[in-house]
Amino acid sequence: MNIEDPRSPVNYKPHPMGYCCVDCNASARIGQAVYHSSRCDIAPREYVLPYNQVEGESSKRSQRRGTSANALAKRDAKARKRVSIVVAAKRGDARLHFTDDEIEQAVRDGKISRSDAMNQDF
């Protein structure tokens, strides 16, 4: 055990999930940082990625939470979906998502009222 260097590979042992700390038994998948417990002598309450590990393809936040890169990509794709012009006009932020021509066409088509189209918070 090397307390001076928490990233040293001698502080970790194989685990069915990936690897774990020899002191507090906190585990993580390969390529993800281990979150050590408060009672750990190596790195109490810290996220540590050993020297012999290569950081995974997911973000730091997802490594800490154990979220896969695919799950993050799906969540981001849902967030980027285009908002309905009716919903955006009611909220007052249609100009963030749509051009003036698209808003004008929605008024002509009867999807939104002229009042909602004019009620923009800009």
pLDDT at 36: 92
pLDDT at 67: 58
pLDDT at 33: 86
**What's the CA gap between 35 and 65, in Å, rounded?**
10
pLDDT at 21: 93
The per-residue b/e assignment along 77-100, b for 16 or more CB within 10 angstroms, e otherwise, is eeeeeeeebeebbeeeebbebbee
pLDDT at 28: 87
Type of residue at 106? A
Within 8 A by CB and 6+ apart from 104, the residues are: 117
Along the 122 residues of the chain, how does pLDDT read in single tens digits? 777 889 898 999 998 878 899 999 998 888 888 899 999 999 898 888 888 877 665 555 555 555 566 666 677 666 666 678 888 888 888 888 788 898 999 999 999 998 888 876 55
